[in-house]
Amino acid sequence: MSGEFSGYVIEGLGLKLDLSGGPLIMGVLNVTPDSFSDGGKYIQRDAAVKWGLEMMGQGADIIDVGGESTRPGSEPVAVEEQINRVIPVIEELAGRGDKPVSIDTSSSAVARRALAAGASMVNDVSAGRADEQMFELLAEAGCPVVLMHMLGTPANMQVEPCYEDVVGEIAAFLARALERAMAAGVHRDRVIIDPGIGFGKTVEHNLEILCKLGELSCLNRPILVGTSRKSFIGRVLGLESPAQRIWGTAATVALAVTAGVHILRVHDVAQMRQVARMAYAVRLRQLPKNASH
């Protein structure tokens, strides 16, 4: 079976992510006024910090803080604005919480400030393409990084996305991104890959990726998947509101875990943690070692 868990421990910048016990849960915290999933619910620092701590309490293993929406059609947010949004939240969560914080950004300047504020991981949806200094920073910091596939940019990624072999092309793209990162001094063992479901893909592309996630194990890196509340689920189920897509999300999480995915980026932490643990037990065909009795 692809995507074995026992071989991966991600370490760097004081962070240690042990994947031997099953999939980890990354909680989404959008400190933006225009997120597709929550519409700016956490743009204020106090609300964002409160929700981040709540997600930790619900079982999130990582909190992913972002100050720039990457929904389809979104435009870039100035570096200083991103910094103003995320740094106070990261400082509070890193100081008060008991779980690591990730910064969701494609800007090396934002990432640098976030790491200094207490973040210990970078989630770059551009895989280093948006900022040529990103890999240099990651090598210097020695922190884990998520490299994601995206066709184009958030502003244009959903304009007639086309592939001859969507999973094969994603794998090739991520292999090249990994090579570029390593050439800049990023340690291979600190890289996590993400196929970028919903980022420059049609509904059919997203469904095919979910069916063939195991093929990405050829890159020999841990896999992160983020399907949570996304529009392709709404299209399949006929649900307009992202908040209604929890059960569709649950189905994709279960499929991802049985395919061997290592990290799941979700909005509904408590619910998806249960789904992931159940799917992992099925995958093992036994009770996980650290399961509650």
Is 50 a known active-site residue?
Answer: no
Active-site choice (230, 245, 273, 277)? 230
Beta-carbon-side half-sphere exposure of residue 217 (alpha carbons within 13 Å):
16
How long is the chain? 293
- Buried residues in 26-43 as b, exposed as e (16+ CB within 10 A): bbbbbbbeebbbbeeebb
Give the span between the Cα atoms of 241 and 249, in whole angstroms: 13
Sheet containing strand 263-266, edge to edge, reads 191-194, 145-148, 121-124, 101-104, 62-66, 24-30, 263-266, 224-225
Compute, in degrees rounded to 10, the torsion defined by CA atoms 63, 66, 70, 76. Answer: -170
Give the span between the Cα atoms of 210 and 131, in whole angstroms: 29
Distance of alpha carbon 75 from the chain centroid: 20
Give the span between the Cα atoms of 272 and 25, in whole angstroms: 8
Which candidate, 107, 79, 95, places its Cα nearest to that of 45?
A: 95
Active-site choice (112, 265, 273, 283)? 265
Is 201 a known active-site residue?
Answer: no
Give the span between the Cα atoms of 69 and 20, in whole angstroms: 32
- Would you name the residues annotated as active-site residues? 230, 265
